[in-house]
Amino acid sequence: MHEVIVIGGGFSGLAACLELERRGVPYLLVEVKRALGGSLRSQQVNGLWLDQGAGAFLDTLPNDFWDELGLADQRISVREGVATLRCGMGQLIEAMAKRLRGPRLMQTAVSSVGALADQWGVCMENGVMIAAPRVIVAAPARYAARMLVNPLPEAIPTLADFLYSDIVYVSLVFARDQINERLHFFRDVAYVYAFRVEDPARAGAGQVLFHVALRFHPQAHDPQAIVDYLTETVELPPPVAWSVGHWPESDPLSVFHDDHSERMAALMRLLPRRLALVNSDYTLEHSPHSGIVRLDERWSAAQEAAAKVLAE
C-alpha cells in the first residue's frame, strides 16, 4: 500500500521521495517520461558530458547533502558560489535515483487527481487508477492545471496562466588555443545566460566548455542549424563536441510579474489537506541568478511538501 503518490520525477519529485524514504513512508513515484530528471539531463558526446537542460546550480546545499549522494568530490566550480558536476547534472539525478528503494511507474502520464472518500484517486492516461491517502504533485503548472481540475477548480486560472519562454541550451567544447580570441563570443548573440568551464575533469584537457542559453531562436527545432549559425555567424572554430537542448515551454516568465509571489502564496493556501504542489514553477521569488538552478530552494520546498502531506 502506498501512503503517498509522487507525480513527476524531476529533481523536486526525487527530493520529495528521498524525504519520504528518510521518514520510512512508503510511496509510489509516477513519471511520464522514459527517464527521470525532468529538465536536468546530460548526454555523453565524444567522451564529454554535456547538459541539454540547466547546467549549473547555486552551490549552497550543505556538504551532508553531497556526502549522502556520494557526490562530495564531484562538484566543479563554474564561478564563485556556482558549480556544476563532473558528469553533468544527470549525475545528480542518477545518484538520487540510486538511493530510492520505492516503486516507480515510468512512461505513465497522470491525467487527473480526484477525491475518493478519504483517499486521492490518481488516474493515469492508460486508464489505470491508483489510490493513496496523500499526493505530492511535482509537475510544472501547465500539467498540474490539467490534473487538478476536480479537487482545485479555483486554482486552475493561476496554474493555466503561466507564461513560458522558448529556450535553447547549447553546449560547445573547443580546443582552448583555438578560442582564445573568442572567449566572450556569446555577447554577440541574444543570450539569456552563459558560463564556461575550463576544468579538465569536465571540459577535457586543453579544452573549454561553453553552456549558452539562447531565447527565441528561429531554428530551435534544428540542432545542427543552431551550431552552424554560431560557428558561421559568430565565427567560431568547429567544436570538438556539442549538444543542443530545446525547451519550448521552460523558464516561467511569470516570475517577472510584480504580483508573482502573492499569486504563488495564494495558490499554496488553496491546497486541500494531504495534497502538495512542488516544482520550480511555484518558486515564490524571482531569482537574481538567471539560469542557475536553485537546488537549495527546490530541496527545502520538497521537504516541506512531504511534511505537509504527512502532517494532515
Ligand X SMILES: Cc1cc2nc3c(=O)[nH]c(=O)nc-3n(C[C@H](O)[C@H](O)[C@H](O)COP(=O)(O)OP(=O)(O)OC[C@H]3O[C@@H](n4cnc5c(N)ncnc54)[C@H](O)[C@@H]3O)c2cc1C
Rounded distance between C-alpha atoms, residue 312 and residue 58, angstroms: 32
Torsion angle of C-alpha atoms 10, 144, 142, 194, degrees rounded to 10: -30
Rounded distance between C-alpha atoms, residue 165 and residue 168, angstroms: 10
Rounded distance between C-alpha atoms, residue 135 and residue 141, angstroms: 16
Q: Are strands 82-85 and 57-58 parallel, antiparallel or unpaired?
A: antiparallel
| Among residues 120, 185, 210, 247, the one that binds ligand X under rule CB under 6 A | 247
Closest CB to ligand X among residues 51, 239: 51
Which range, of 134-142, 183-191, 235-243, 259-267, touches ligand X by CB under 6 A? 134-142
Classified as helix, coil or strand, 242 is strand
Does the CA dihedral 15-17-21-23 come out positive or negative?
positive
- The whole-angstrom distance between residue 140's C-alpha and the CA centroid of its chain comes to 10
Q: How far is the CB of 180 from ligand X (least distance, A)?
A: 29
Q: How far is the CB of 298 from ligand X (least distance, A)?
A: 5
Closest CB to ligand X among residues 179, 211: 211
Which range, of 95-103, 175-183, 196-204, 245-253, touches ligand X by CB under 6 A? 245-253
| Among residues 5, 110, 136, 172, the one that binds ligand X under rule CB under 6 A | 110
Closest CB to ligand X among residues 33, 182: 33
| Among residues 4, 40, 145, 170, the one that binds ligand X under rule CB under 6 A | 40
In the chain, the N- to C-terminal Cα span, in Å, equals 18
Q: How far is the CB of 187 from ligand X (least distance, A)?
A: 20
Footprint of ligand X on residues 250-309 (CB under 6 A)? Answer: 250-251, 279-280, 287, 290-294, 298
Instruction: Using alpha carbons only, give the angle 280, 281, 283 rounded to the nearest 5 degrees.
Output: 70
For residue 141, state whether it binds ligand X (rule: CB under 6 A).
no
Rounded distance between C-alpha atoms, residue 170 and residue 172, angstroms: 6
| Among residues 33, 75, 99, 215, the one that binds ligand X under rule CB under 6 A | 33
Which three three-digit cell numbers place residue 56? 549549473
Classified as helix, coil or strand, 45 is strand
Q: How far is the CB of 66 from ligand X (least distance, A)?
A: 17
Instruction: Using alpha carbons only, give the angle 237, 90, 54 rounded to the nearest 5 degrees.
Output: 60
| Among residues 76, 85, 92, 109, the one that binds ligand X under rule CB under 6 A | 109
Q: How far is the CB of 158 from ligand X (least distance, A)?
A: 17
Q: Which residues bind ligand X (CB under 6 A)?
A: 7-13, 30-33, 38-40, 53-54, 109-110, 138-140, 143, 167, 247, 250-251, 279-280, 287, 290-294, 298
